[in-house]
Amino acid sequence: MTAGHNALRTPGEKGDKGDPGPPGRLPIARAFVPDTVHYAGDAVTYAGALWQAKKDTGQAPPHADWICLAADGQDGITPTIRGTYDPVGIYARLDIVALNSSSFIARKDQPGPCPGEGWQLIVSAGKQGRPGPRGARGERGEPGSKGGPGAPAPTILAWKVDRESYTVTPIMSDASEVPAIEMRALFEQFHDERG
């Protein structure tokens, strides 16, 4: 044994980076086959989930020899638009209704009166905005159709003569009051011209 055999050696220089390897890929998944050996890295579908073998195994998933890559999910539930809220209507979870310019979604089946604890407000009507500027005047429209005949005008049925004041008052067919007509100046003019 030489004296330097047990001495620590200094690490050498770092080597160049190697060429990139092939891209990694998940093997094509196949249905799990009972009583068959599945090899490390195999991907299988079983009970609605996707599994990958961690080592060669004859065990069925779920087992410690397998890792779950994707679990069985649930079907999604989408909201149902039910129109304007009806107090006697029957509603289920995720039903959407309109009420007083707002929209609500049911939190559960039979959510009770809306609005209430069984409903979640989605959209609420905002405040009315300021009026915009007045627009330009539009073109004149077509004349409308001729209206029907109106009620007949009242007629004079008789005259009430007041000799002391030289006035006459017409008596109308609709019993409306008409101011008296002053006749004195007319009679005076007639008298002067006859003179």
pLDDT digits (tens, 9 = 90+) for 81-97: 999 999 999 999 999 99
Boundaries of every domain in the chain: 30-70, 80-123, 156-194
What pLDDT is attached to residue 6? 57
Give the model's confidence band at 110: pLDDT under 50 very low, under 70 low, under 90 confident, else very high: very high
> With left for phi above 0 and alpha for psi between -120 and 50, is residue 35 left, alpha or beta?
left
Indicate the pTM of the whole model. 0.36
Question: What confidence tens digit (pLDDT) does each residue in 122-135 have?
Answer: 998 788 888 889 98
User: Measuring CA to CA, which residue among 178, 177, 172, 180 is closest to residue 155?
Assistant: 172
Cα 107-110-112 angle, rounded to 5 deg: 85
The string of pLDDT tens digits covering residues 26-82 is 788 888 999 889 999 899 999 889 999 999 999 999 999 999 988 887 777 889 999
pLDDT band for 7, please (50, 70, 90 cuts): low
Domain 30-70 and domain 80-123 have a common topology:
yes
Q: Which fold has domain 80-123?
A: Seminal Fluid Protein  PDC-109 (Domain B) (2.10.10)
- Over range 110-139, report the average pLDDT: 90
109: closest CA among 91, 124, 133, 122? Answer: 91
pLDDT score, position 5: 56
- CATH code assigned to 30-70: 2.10.10.20
